[in-house]
Amino acid sequence: MTSILVVDDEPLIAMALEAVLEDAGYQVMMAANGRQGLERLAETRADVVLLDMMMPVMNGPAMLAAMAAEPSLAEIPVIILSSLPEEVVRIRAQGSAMILRKPYTAHEVLDAIARVLGEAREAGGDPGSPTP
C-alpha cells in the first residue's frame, strides 16, 4: 500500500487531508512539524511527503534540507502545500517535486500524488504499490 506522510501544523487541514487520502486508499502518517516528520520517516519510510512550509519547531525548508542530507530520504518525492507566493516557495523549497498553492482541492492533491508517484516509477524508483 502506498504511504503518504502529511506534515502540517494546522489540525483542520491535516485531518481533511488524512480523510481524503485514506478514502483514496492510501496509508497515512501524520506530523505537526518538520521534526516530527523526520521522526515518522525514521520509523516508517513514506512514498510521498505532503509538506507545509510555515510550521513551528522545524519548518518545511528545514525539513527538506534534512531530507536532502540523508541519502535514505533524499529520493522521497515532496509536494509542498503553501499559501506563500510560488516564487518564494521555489526559492525556499529547492528539491521539492511539486508545489500546490493553498487553497487546493482534494482532486488537486490526489492528482499531484499520482503524478509524482508516476514520475518516481519512470525514474526507476519503487514508490510502493500502484496508486488507487
H/E segment holding residue 106: helix 106-122
Residue 129 in any domain: the answer is no
pLDDT of the residue at 123: 57
Range(s) of the domain holding residue 31: 3-122
Residue 130 in any domain: the answer is no
Residue 132 in any domain: the answer is no
Residue 128 in any domain: the answer is no
What's the pLDDT tens digit per position in 32-84? 999 999 999 999 999 999 999 999 999 999 999 999 999 999 999 999 998 88
Is 60 exceeded by the pLDDT of residue 130?
no
Task: Give the model's confidence band at 122: pLDDT under 50 very low, under 70 low, under 90 confident, else very high.
Answer: low
- Nearest to residue 16, comparing CAs of 24, 56, 55? 24
> The domain that contains 80 carries what CATH number?
3.40.50.2300
Count up the domains in the chain and report the number. Answer: 1
What's the pLDDT tens digit per position in 70-93? 999 999 999 999 888 777 777 777
pTM, 2 dp: 0.88
With beta carbons less than 8 A apart as the criterion, state whether 62 and 84 touch. no
What's the pLDDT tens digit per position in 103-116? 899 999 999 999 99
Strands of 1-132, DSSP E:
3-7, 27-31, 48-52, 78-82, 98-101
pLDDT of the residue at 124: 57
Residue 127 in any domain: the answer is no
Residue 79 in any domain: the answer is yes
Is 80 exceeded by the pLDDT of residue 97?
no
